[in-house]
Structure formats: structure tokens, C-alpha cells
Structure 1
Amino acid sequence: MDMLDRAARAYKGRIIAALAARFRDLDIAEEAFAEACTRAVTAWPTEAPRNPAAWLYRVADRVALDMLRRHAIRAGAALPPPEPDPTAEELLMADSTLIPDERLRLIFICCHPAIHPEARAALTLKLVCGLTTLEIAQAFLASETTVAQRLVRAKRKIADAGISFEMPGPQAWPERIDAVLSTIEIAYARAHADAAGGGRHSDYAAEMLQVTATLADLIPHDADVLALAAMIRFAEARRPARIDADGLMVPLDQQDPALWNAALITEARPYLASALRFGAARPRVLSALVHAEWCARNSLEDAAPWPAVLVIYDALVAVRDDPVTRLNRAVALAQVRGAATALDEIDALTLPGLICFLPYHAVRADLLARLGQRDAARIAYDAALNLEPEPAERRWLERKRDCC
């Protein structure tokens, strides 16, 4: 059902968060929402609701109460009293004047400081953005088992400590901001990984543009906030040139800058300029500078800015030395100093999570192919293809593999 699919994607985060706030139990909230969706499959074809969010919330609320009665989760505790009749939206919009963007409010609510730092963004990505445990694990270069355990511990902490899902005041924002920004980065990265913009997370591209604009208005002197707003705009500006007429992904250095969204690039530059004033050496600011270098290109006749990009990555490694930064740096390194040097750097990376990180295999395959190691390149391309890339990326990887 198209209506149910759209409603579930649009309202899942706020409904589960509302149920979690009411029952202080994420497992109950998630199970109740899933059951409400199951009942909607039967009910909606005969009588579509005027307010899908309110319908799903009300049914899930009754399901949750029934679950509490049946299983006596909190032995000896009274059941929550019946609520008046606010809609599901009203439960989470009472503080709308504080943070006017609904998705951003939910992210702030869920990045609770009582939850372990490693689990905050993961829990929020699952709860608010609907990412699977596997997708979250791939984003953090961790095993699916490790992320699942973190999520279980976070849910248990919420249930045992009775953590409230309430909108924090501005004085509490600094202790949540890093998890908030990490959540936004990963949510946008899921959309950006799909060049054609047709996947189930594609809506996050437009949403994260709005979310970062709101966040920059709320916290206008934070270098990381401003840099992230700039970075997403630079990246999203290139979307019109990211696939060719045959539906294949186009690598960044082969994209025609004439097709880029000039308005988004213009919008990004003031954010970056402000970020540089408040914290030029911050990792997110340096990452935004890489995107700015590319978006300064006017046509394919202009030389690709690989040397400048490598200089920025050298600076970035000095303040955030992680496998993803090293991998991105290796792409620039190959263009400046040769594929062999870059491959040595990549093969020195030892984090087990890279095995499930598609860009790792794609970059390694390209370097092997350049060095004439065709059998090894085909194996690396197959490893990338086994990680289920989006259609445009899959077709490009298949063509590159076939060239080997």
C-alpha cells in the first residue's frame, strides 16, 4: 500500500519517540508501531484515515497498553493513565518555537546524554531515520553484532533509568550537539550514496538541507554546525551531474560543473566562510574545504584540484586520523603520487569493519586495475558489488569490473 508505506516512512520516528516518551520503553514502542502498521494493512484499504499519523499512533498506543497488561513488564507498577486526545504530532511539537524543525527536534530528543556516547547517534539513526542495524554498522565501520548490542544496552538504559524523551533547553544542546551532527552526517551520507536519488533514503537529501539550515540559525557561531551546512550543500549541488544518460554513476572528477546547482554552491560559501572564522582546523571544516575545492571548478577543462585536495586531507589526518579519512586521502594520493603509493596506504588499513565498507573495495579495485592487477581488481569489484550498491553505482562498478 503506497499510503501506508509513505505514512510509515514519514511518521515512524515521531510516533515511536512519542510512545517511548509515554511508556519509557523503546522495545514496547517499536513493537507497538510495527503492530499498528500490520493492522493498517487490513484496515486502510476499506477505510483510509484522514490523519494517518494520528491513526497509527492511537492504534500503537492501545497495542502498547495491551502488551503491558499481558506481560506485566513493570511488575507492581500502575499502567500509565489514559491520555486526553492530542494528535501524535502535538506530543512532540509542544516546543516547536524552540526548534522549529520537526526532524531536528526528534534528533535532539533522542541524543540523550545519559546514553553512552557510542550509542547515541546509532540509536537516533534507527529510531528517527529508520536505518537498519546493518546500515548503521556499515556507517560506523563496526560489526552488526556490536551495533545491535549497543542498541540493546541503550534501550535497557532508557527503560531502567526512566529516561524522559523531552525537548532539551538551549543550555543542554552542547552536550548533545556532536551526536546530533553525526546523525545528520550519516543520514545524508545514506542519501548521497545513491547518485540517482531513487532509494528508500533519498528523501534525506532535501531534509538534511533544511535541518542544517535550521541548526545554523539556532547555533550560528559553531564551526562544526556551519561546516556541515556548507558540506551538505556543496555535495548536493553536484547531484545533477552524478549520473549519465545511460543511468551510470559519474565519478567526481568526470562530472560536468556546468550541470551543478549554482544556487546551492552560492548558499554553501557563506556557511564555510563563517565556519573558517570560528574553527578553521576543525575536522568538519576541513571536510567542507575539500568539497569547496571541487565546487570551485567551472568546467571540465579546468584541472581537477587533486593537489589541493591532498593537502587538505593531510591536514585532516592530523586532527582526525580514521580509516575513512585515510581512504579518501588515498584517492587523492593516487592522482598526485601514483596508484602504487595509494594502494600501499590502503592495504595498511587493518580495521575489520572495512570489509563491509563498499567504498573501500571500490577504491582498492580501481587502484589494482590501474596497476594492471586485473584478477585482483575483479575480486575487489565483486566484493563491492556483493555489498548491494544502489543501481547507478552498481552499473558503474559492473562496467569497471568487465573492463578488467
Structure 2
Amino acid sequence: MSRLLDQTFRDAGGRVVSALAAAFRDLDLAEEAFAEACARALERWGDAPPADPAAWLYAVARRWALDRFRRRATAAAWRPDDAPPEPTPEDHVMALDQPIPDERLRLIFVCCHPAVSPDARAALTLRTVCGLSTVEVAAAFLTPEPTLAQRLVRAKRKIAEAGVPYDVPSPDRWPERMDAVLSTLEVAYAQAHADAAGDGPHADFATGMLNLTGLLARLAPDDAEAQALAATVRYSEARRPARLAPDGAMVPLTEQNTADWSPALIAEAGRFVARSAAISHARRAVPGPRALQAAIHGAHADRATTGLTDWAAILGLYNLLLLQRDDPVIRTNRAVALAEVEGPAAALDALLCIDAPGWLPLHAARAEMFARLGWDKDAREDYDAALALGPSSAEALFLKARRDRLLPSAQRWGLRSARIRADPQGSEPFAS
């Protein structure tokens, strides 16, 4: 794939597929049409690409889809949509002044329809709207790829059989879909956040999720979790300028220079947090998981003004979060905070109890704790395991640098750690 086509695929692929799906009411057809347009682009662009590559792909894909419809036996049963009603304020917010209508948020709501099983809603959206590969989606949900692929097939079939309308439902129907919509945006943003250098295939998700979370927060002004997710994305993006060292290596949060953080994005995040808290307070509701995550990011952001990180408060927030969302991601992040409060031994005890084989952040966190305890052999094994899982370029440089600081020999620590790995609750506890 040429560089231009590759860039267009990443920047506009989700919008093109979403617009095609909205027009033809067929997810499979939309994906096939877009793939056909990309194939034709490879043949025809050459040294004279179109002035607007995204619009060219959309036009070619739409013509191909129309031809496909005409060749189908069911062509007579299909007709274009009726003339649209007068645009609503929501329509004006979602409108985009360019040849390809931005139907991403609309299609996200379609994929998150209650007719689709809960375990497939976010996964289908990430695959269809955001363009993640099946391998990437499976990794994001810590699910075997064949299992995930079967879920996607069943979900698309369910949408077709149930005749799910390709429209954003009225706000009173949003609660039944909102959690899946927010989960989709969370995972999509995580793909961009993991790429500190911003040179990976999903780097554009960072800007896209800033826009979409802000849009959703405006469309759902009384949804505390929508406000909280918008805050979290802004807190994270505020730190992006500080996430890369001069040598291109990732800089972990605790070592970032807060002078490089964006005060404007932090302030904007704070307003979303305040709105989320006000909604929960008015409803006498406990903060949801995304509100707690936003509070954790806010506690880290306070270091820009206080110079200190309140790790005890952060650990307390993670303890509350575990009551609502107990998964390997939260447990691993909590262990990192636990290391700052109770020491690396307590953190390593917690990490060794997490069952998420082949998950890169877990290996990296364990390696860090082993290294702090002087168990260099075990640290090296986990660093090597993390590097073998294909991290982004910036993260790979960071992991290699940490691994190379280890002593080449620490055999006795490795033997001792092997015994405790086999029985983490045994009689030979870690020493701080």
C-alpha cells in the first residue's frame, strides 16, 4: 500500500465505512466496498493521486456498492432513504463540512444496539468503525482471536436479521447503549495512548477521540460517565508533549516534566470532571468507573501545581474502582500505585496473582518490581517477554533501556523467585 493510501486509510477509513454502512444498511457491504476502492486506488493513483484521496475512495466505494446492489436478486426490495426531516441540534453538531459525511458516532450507536450481545458491542464497533484488526481487538479485550472473530460474525448477522435502524436513537434510549459506546471510545483511545511517539497505525485516534468524546459529552450533558471519559482523554492528551525523551524513548508518567503538560487541556478536563461530579451528586449516585478513572488522572495532574503525587489517594481510588471493574488492567495499575504506598514487594505479590498471560503491561510492571527488589534475572525475563510482544517503538526503547540497566547475573534471586512464583501465598514472603 502506498504511503498516501496508507495514510488515507488510517485517517478516513472509519468515516468512509461508517458513511457507506449508514447509506446501504449493510456492514459487510460497506467493508467490501471500501476494500475494493482501496484496491482500485493501488492500480490507478500512481504518480497522479486525486486532490482529495478520501473523497475519491468514498465515491468509488459508493459506486461499487450500488453496482453490487443492482446485481443482487434483492435489488428491487431496496430503495434509498426517505427525504430526511429537518435537522436537529444533534445533527448540526455531528455535521462535517466535507464530501464524506461523518457517520462514525451514528454507526457506533448502531453497533452498540441491545440486539447485539454485550460481549460483542464494543468489539464490533472497534473493528468496523475504528478499523482495528481482529488481532488488535482480541488483544484489547484479552480474548482469543478465534473467539473474537466468531463474536463479530454473529453480531453483524444479528444487526442484519433484526433490521436495526441506522440512526442515533432518541436520548431516552441512550442508557441501554451508552456503556458500550463509552467502552468503545475508551479502547479506541487506548490504542493511540499506547503509542507515545505517535507514529503507529492508530496515532490519529488521539485527535479523533478528543473530538468524539467532546461531541458525546455535548450530546449527553446529563450523563456523568460521558463527561468523565471526556475528562480522562483530555488529561491523557495534556501529557503527550512530555511522553517522549530526546532519544525517542517513552517517558513514564512519574518521570515526566510537568512543565511540558498542557494547562489548557488540564483545565478543560477539570471542567468535565466537575460536571460529572455535579450530575452524580444531584442524583445521589456513587461515581461510576469512568468518573473514578478521571479522578485518578486528576490526582496525577495535581503534580503540575503541587509538585507531589498523592499516591495514597490514588490507591484509594483504585480500591473503589476494583469494586466496579475488576479486571487485569485495573489490577495492574493498582499494583503500580501500591508499590508507591507499600513498596515493590506488596506490588509484586499483587501482580503475580493476575492471570493475563501474554499481556505486555503486566510483564512490564512485573519486571519493574523485580528490578526494584534486585531480582534482576526475573526482571530480565519479564522485560524480554514484554519486548517479544511487539510494543510501539517508543515503548520498546524504554523497555530495552530498563532491561540493559540490570546486572547480567543474579541467579540466586531467580531461583528464589521461581519458588515464590509457584506459590505466591507460600511461607517465604517478599521482603521490602
Give me the TM-score of the superposition, normalised by structure 1: 0.88
Corresponding residue number in structure 1 for 2:310: 305
Corresponding residue number in structure 2 for 1:32: 33
Rounded to whole Å, the distance in 2 between the matches of 1:78 and 1:219 is: 38
Corresponding residue number in structure 2 for 1:142: 143
| 1:97 alignment partner, one of 92, 96, 101 | 92
Give the 5 Å matches for 1:163-202.
Answer: 163-202=164-203
Give the 5 Å matches for 1:288-303.
Answer: 288-298=294-304, 302-303=307-308
Rounded to whole Å, the distance in 1 between the matches of 2:180 and 2:146 is: 21
1:9 alignment partner AA: R
Corresponding residue number in structure 2 for 1:336: 341
- Highest RCO, 1 vs 2 (Cα 8 Å, sep ≥ 6): 1
Distance 1:51 1:113, change over 3 A: farther
2:354 alignment partner AA: L
Deviations 1:80-100 (A, max 9, x none): 65869x9xxx9xx99732644
Give the 5 Å matches for 1:218-297.
Answer: 218-279=219-280, 280-297=286-303
Distance 1:83 1:270, change over 3 A: closer
Conservation of the 8 A alpha-carbon contact between 1:110 and 1:165: no
Conservation of the 8 A alpha-carbon contact between 1:19 and 1:61: yes
Conservation of the 8 A alpha-carbon contact between 1:184 and 1:208: yes
Rounded to whole Å, the distance in 2 between the matches of 1:315 and 1:244 is: 33
2:188 alignment partner AA: A
Q: CA deviation at 1:398?
A: 0.6
The runs of 5 or more residues in structure 1 that have no matched partner are none
The runs of 5 or more residues in structure 2 that have no matched partner are 97-101, 281-285, 407-432
Rounded to whole Å, the distance in 2 between the matches of 1:171 and 1:58 is: 35
1:282 alignment partner AA: G
Rounded to whole Å, the distance in 2 between the matches of 1:277 and 1:5 is: 43
Q: CA deviation at 1:68?
A: 6.1
Corresponding residue number in structure 2 for 1:161: 162
Deviations 1:80-124 (A, max 9, x none): 65869x9xxx9xx99732644734333223322221121111111
Rounded to whole Å, the distance in 1 between the matches of 2:40 and 2:241 is: 40
Rounded to whole Å, the distance in 2 between the matches of 1:278 and 1:23 is: 38
Rounded to whole Å, the distance in 2 between the matches of 1:100 and 1:67 is: 28
Distance 1:25 1:274, change over 3 A: closer
Conservation of the 8 A alpha-carbon contact between 1:188 and 1:208: yes
Rounded to whole Å, the distance in 2 between the matches of 1:98 and 1:214 is: 7
Conservation of the 8 A alpha-carbon contact between 1:223 and 1:276: yes
Q: Which moved more, 1:18-27 or 1:321-330?
A: 18-27
Conservation of the 8 A alpha-carbon contact between 2:10 and 2:204: no
Q: CA deviation at 1:62?
A: 4.3
Distance 1:112 1:99, change over 3 A: farther
Give me the TM-score of the superposition, normalised by structure 2: 0.83
Distance 1:318 1:52, change over 3 A: same
Q: CA deviation at 1:323?
A: 1.8
Q: CA deviation at 1:47?
A: 5.4
Rounded to whole Å, the distance in 1 between the matches of 2:405 and 2:246 is: 20
Corresponding residue number in structure 1 for 2:122: 121
SS of structure 2 residue aligned to 1:96: helix
SS of structure 1 residue aligned to 2:91: coil
SS of structure 1 residue aligned to 2:246: coil
Distance 1:226 1:81, change over 3 A: closer
Corresponding residue number in structure 2 for 1:318: 323
